[in-house]
Structure 1
Amino acid sequence: MKGLAAVVIGRNEGARLIQCLDALVSITPVVYVDSGSTDGSVEAARMRGAEVVCLDMAQPFTAARARNAGLDRVRDICDAGFVQFVDGDCEVVDGWLECATAYILANPEVAVVCGRRRERAPDDSMYNAHCDREWDTPVGDALACGGDALMRVVALDQVGGYDPRLIAGEEPELCVRLRAKGWRVSRIDAEMTLHDANITTFSQFWKRARRAGYAYAEGAHMHGASPERHFVKQTIRALIWGYILPLTILFSAVLGSVFALWFTLLYPAQIVRLGLKNGGTRPAFEAAWLLTVSKFAEARGVLEFHLRKAFKRPAGIIEYK
């Protein structure tokens, strides 16, 4: 079989990057793509034997661009058939590489295989716990992977890799194009990575949700007309709860209509419904509250995308940490 390589991307990840690289000692080569770090990340990566690529920050940065740069470097130095992509704030757990490699070799129609990503410190904040629940997606054929995944290089070559223009949602968009070429994306029942979201404030949570809304809008703009209707439901849901319903409440209140109160009650009703649906526990209601509130941030992200398109402004990354 052709070899296995790893591509790690990061920016000022500090100790998280060291943990990430130390967990990849069994892979050669490991390519680290740095995006303007000022915390010694480049030197730390070189000390651990990684091939380092420093992105030209004069060009707009995206994670997709960084992953493509890492893949290009892998092609320059070896003939790898598979690449494990890892975000610099993640740590690959023992046994994942062997499990994922065995699976993708046994299933030649699979382009991407991912497993269970867990938060390193889910008890540190309700936002971290929310991320941990978000990663817990069903096993089997998947619509998307995250930043951590084992990918078949020939499949990536067939679709031209990641779209470097996307500031978020680049992995789901890549998976749409892979499936259009007949490839499968699989999630298997195996531990894959530990992720350190480190979200401790509402402001961080809001920015992350805003970025998701931007990704929904851009994904729907690119592939919404396809049979998959990529991100269309997510975009519509964000607009209904984040814009249409608030505007309806506002206009009803201006007109003095009693319906304003009833429309307002839809939000607590939604939180109760989601909380009870997921077990009625305190974490379930916390998750329901976060999901409901996030729609306002997502709606803002949707609006940002369409305003950018309308005024032909360049996209800028939305960082939450």
Structure 2
Amino acid sequence: MKRPLLIFIVLAFGLSWAAALPLWLGKGLASPQLAWVATLMMFTPTAGVLGAWAVSRTPFREWARQTGLTFGDRKKRTAVLLLTTWLGVPLLVLLAMGLSAAVGVVSLDLDQLSLLRAALRARGMTVPADLGGVAVLQIVVAALAGPALNAIPALGEEWGWRGWLLPRLVSSNGMVAGLVFTGAIWGAWHAPLTLLGYNYPRLGSWAALFFIGFCVLFGVLAGWLRLRTGSVWPSVVAHGSLNAVAAPALLLGDAAAPPNEVLVGVTGLVGWVLLAIVGAALLRFSPVRRPQPVA
């Protein structure tokens, strides 16, 4: 039981650090290699799953079922939750921005869209006359197409974290502990980027610790989807949608008072509270059964 877990952790973490070396040896997050490094890292948990499978001697069809590559035993439920997640995660992200504005930790500039305007200019792009229409289109496209466009790299992570690791940790440690441990490991895995300030540049290297908190809370939602359906695909959609929508939503802020990412949005403290409420409600009112131990 311990050997596959060790293989998984060594491959997922070791390869992620190897992938991120160009950033650490170069310009850090300012490196033009950041995008492909971050994408390459997302496939290292899959390498961990394949390493664990290599020592399991389990037929691949059975391994695929155990690790959630199928649609589970109740395919209609999986399809419904997949669609709900596809639409629900963008709404959750926008709700977090709205709550951030309501409690006064961010100023939204929905009239002039000054932060989006500044971001376009910083990239050397021409600001369109109908910037409001562009902003709406950007968010709509991110919400509708993001999960599909991000599906392959999101699967690269989710097959490892929610597909293989989560059922294993839940079966051996209990529901809540398994969800928390999986989220914490997932968050710590991001250290090659977050130690450089990724996602929370104001925090510097402390971003690595702070991001673990977010990963635990969002991991409860992604984990509930996995355990409720027996499939990793709703978790893939949740992850892909988050990656597509979270950044454009922050650009709705005011350039004169840019959002503090530690507080604002779904990845900030306001979002943490929202995610905690949603996660607790799901576990309380739609509980999932403890899975059987996996190889």
Coarse TM-score class (shorter-chain normalised): under 0.3
TM-score scaled by length of structure 2: 0.27
User: What TM-score comes out, normalization by structure 1 length?
Assistant: 0.25
Structure scoring higher RCO (CA < 8 A, sep ≥ 6) equals 2
| Higher gyration radius (CA) | 1
